[in-house]
Amino acid sequence: MQHNFGDLEVVISGGSTEEEHAQSTNLRRNVDCLKSSHEEADTRMVLHAVHTTAHNVVVMTRDTDVVLLLIYHFAKMECSHLWVMSGTARDTKYIPVHDICRKLMPEQVSHLLAFHAITGCDSTSKLASITKVGAWKAFSGTNCELLGRLGQSPLEEDVLSNVEKFVVKLYEVDSSITCSNDARSYLFGAVRKPEFLPPTTDALRLHIKRCNYQVCVWENAHIPKPSLPRLQDCGWIVQREQVVPRLITMSLASNCALPVNVLA
């Protein structure tokens, strides 16, 4: 850096032609821990916050994802006070992350990123007719344990089943129902529009796989070069050099060949 920042130390990483570039105005500062392979600025901000030695840290962002990431990773940080500066120039707000962490139960913090991904974020779709506030009521109880181990690779079958159970609970069906397909049957005719129904089990499981990948990225934000699963194994496909969500693996009903009885 050739700019004169006076006594202010400036540390940067990424954002240049070299993905793993990191530099500080303090030439004695070792910035190897910031030389990362992260694709998103969200996780790079967390990486900076985790490795800073400052006791008071302010992160400037308007992104909800970053706020939740900081809450999840706060226990790994050396700082005692962490604020998120958001809002506008006329209406600036400071969110005290350290206070939020004290008010949440440990299991809520542990499964917070899984909850955010499942209910919809920048990279995953939201569930039809389910709001964050409504889902939080279910999450605040013992149901949050159903999201345990989401974000691990490989994704185990019991994790898939537990997350499906959590999603089914959000639709307030009979407590004996744990399968999304059964929840659709239960609610069929009770909703105004078909799109308000829960997703099919097939579509939901692809959604869970994508969420698992996203949570894996988030939970490893403190690691400069995390090992991540292949996108193609996590509910995405590559079409024309672009990564797009895979929506179903089963044939559409309209494409299924069924015998038809014709009444003369």
* pTM for the full predicted model: 0.89
- Closest Cα partner for 164 from 206, 107, 105? 206
Q: How many CA atoms lie within 13 A of 125 on its CB side?
A: 17
Q: Which pLDDT does position 261 carry in this prediction?
A: 55
Measured between its terminal Cα atoms, the distance across the chain in Å is: 85
Q: Which pLDDT does position 264 carry in this prediction?
A: 44
Angle at 253 between CA 129 and CA 169, to 5 degrees: 30
Torsion, Cα of 207, 210, 211, 212 (10° steps) = 120
Q: Report the distance separating Cα 146 and Cα 140, nearest Å.
A: 12
Per-domain boundaries in the chain: 105-244
Amino acid at position 239, single letter: Q
Q: Report the distance separating Cα 104 and Cα 110, nearest Å.
A: 10
Q: Is the model more confident about 180 or about 194? A: 180
Q: Report the distance separating Cα 188 and Cα 17, nearest Å.
A: 53
242-264 per-position pLDDT tens digit:
999 999 998 766 555 556 555 54
Does the pLDDT of residue 169 top 70, yes or no? Answer: yes
Q: Which pLDDT does position 213 carry in this prediction?
A: 98
Q: Give φ, ψ of 29 to 5 degrees.
A: -80, 130
220-239 per-position pLDDT tens digit:
999 999 999 999 999 999 99
- Closest Cα partner for 127 from 178, 171, 186? 171
Strongest mean pLDDT among 11-15, 65-69, 185-189: 65-69
Q: Report the distance separating Cα 245 and Cα 209, nearest Å.
A: 10
Q: Give φ, ψ of 187 to 5 degrees.
A: -90, -10
Q: Report the distance separating Cα 16 and Cα 165, nearest Å.
A: 44
Exposure pattern of 12-44 as b/e (b: 16+ CB <10 Å)? bbbeeeeeeebbbbeeeeebeebbbebebebbb
144-165 per-position pLDDT tens digit:
999 999 999 999 999 999 999 9
Helix (H, G, I), strand (E, B) or coil at 181: helix
Helix (H, G, I), strand (E, B) or coil at 6: coil
